[in-house]
A and B are shown apart, each in its own frame.
Chain A
Amino acid sequence: MSTDRDDLLSRLLGPVGPELTCEQCFDELDRYVEAELAGGQGHADAQIPGMHAHLDGCLACREEHDSLFALVQSET
């Protein structure tokens, strides 16, 4: 079970493994979301390595990803 302390540790220590920068995340976000919607997260992660880790580590980019995913999904 995830606890408040787990969440805090996750925020402080961040993701493990290579990750994109915020700028690279923005550049690839549209392609990543479309890949997710077309073939699932595993497919998208294979297309754009490092995106998933960045979204785990950067709350702002995560929120924008979630919004773009929801918006595009709502129009599909």
Chain B
Amino acid sequence: MGHKPVVCAAASVIPVPSAGSTDTDSQALLDALRADGHVREQAIADLHGLLLRGARFEVRRRRAMMRAWDGDDLDDLALQSADDALVAVLAKLDAFEGRSRFTTWAYKFVLLETAVKLRRRPWQGRELPLEPEQWPRHADPRASPTDDAERTELLAAVRRAIDDELTPHQREVLVAVALNDVPIDVLAERKDTTRGALYKTIHDARRSLRRRLEAEGLVPASDKGEPR
């Protein structure tokens, strides 16, 4: 049938759509979430179960990639992410246009909440490296001598362009995120701004670098557009 019970098969009265289900299933859950009384309460419980499943999926996925993580409080983090995503999904319910399955739409909120919390976790209490730290100094043994020389020349030109062409803010943001691997969400939190605002800064900085490199004949001319 394409329906999956979310929290408990016996308790769930709303057919929460699975990835293989139909638009009709999404509409049924939406209708229940927009209803009153017990129907809405049950739908919210089911939605929370769905979001918690997504949060735990993300925790497992990232934990597998970062085995050194202490996992004692990761389920708490998953639960908090599901709670926060539930608030976000309910607040934006009217924005759901049915252009995807409701499940997929709702999952993206909880994956965002979980990912941001997990990215911030290892940086808690740490000072952010905002000055260049990781410029490669040695030849890359995997590259041919010709390629390595070209890369060395291009990297040197990029370093000069970063110093000459970027504003202090652009330089700080690009260096922190692109060179020093500071997660953009961590930097956004410290600077009291958003991922989108910082990415716009990075985008503008990259355009300035490319213009300089194109003028120097080091990269082909590009049709670099604005973010839409």
0 or 1 for each of A1-37: is its CB under 8 Å from B? (1 = yes):
1011110110111101111111110100111011000
A75 to B105, CA, bound (A): 14
Given the interface pairs A60-B115, A74-B57, the reply to whether A5 lies near B136 with Cβ below 8 Å is yes
Is B225 in contact with chain A by the CB < 8 A criterion? yes
Are B143 and A30 in contact, CB atoms less than 8 angstroms apart? Answer: no
Of residues 99 through 115 on chain B, the ones whose CB sits less than 8 Å from some CB of chain A are: 99-101, 103-105, 107-108, 111-112, 115
Task: Decide yes or no whether B119 CB sits under 8 A from chain A.
Answer: yes
A7 to chain B, nearest CB (A): 10
Chain A interfacial residues counted at CB < 8 A: 43
Complex: how many Å from CA A57 to CA B105? 23
Q: How many residues belonging to B are interface residues under a CB distance threshold of 8 Å?
A: 59
Given A59-B184, A74-B57, also A8-B222 (CB < 8 A):
no
* A50 in contact with B136 (CB, 8 Å): no
Complex alpha-carbon distance, A26 and B33, angstroms: 22
When the two chains form their complex, are residues B219 and A30 in contact, meaning their CB atoms are under 8 A apart?
no
Closest A residue, CB atoms, query B142: A3
| Stretch binding the partner chain, chosen from B35-43, B76-84, B121-129, B201-209 | B201-209
Output the nearest chain A residue to B186 by Cβ-Cβ distance.
A60
**Known A4-B140, A31-B100; contact A13-B206, beta-carbon cutoff 8 A:** yes
Residues of B bordering A, CB below 8 Å:
4, 18-20, 54, 57-58, 61, 99-101, 103-105, 107-108, 111-112, 115, 119, 134, 136, 140, 142-143, 147-148, 151-152, 154-155, 158, 162, 174, 177-179, 183-185, 194-196, 199-200, 202-203, 206, 209-210, 213, 219, 222-228
Chain A residues close to B by CB (< 8 Å): 1, 3-6, 8-9, 11-14, 16-24, 26, 29-31, 33-34, 50, 54, 57-60, 63-64, 67-68, 70-76
Please provide the 4 A-B residue pairs with the shortest distance between their CB atoms, ordered closest to farther: A18-B225, A30-B100, A14-B206, A75-B19
Beyond known contacts A21-B227, A50-B228: 4 more, CB 8 A cutoff = A3-B142, A12-B206, A17-B222, A59-B184
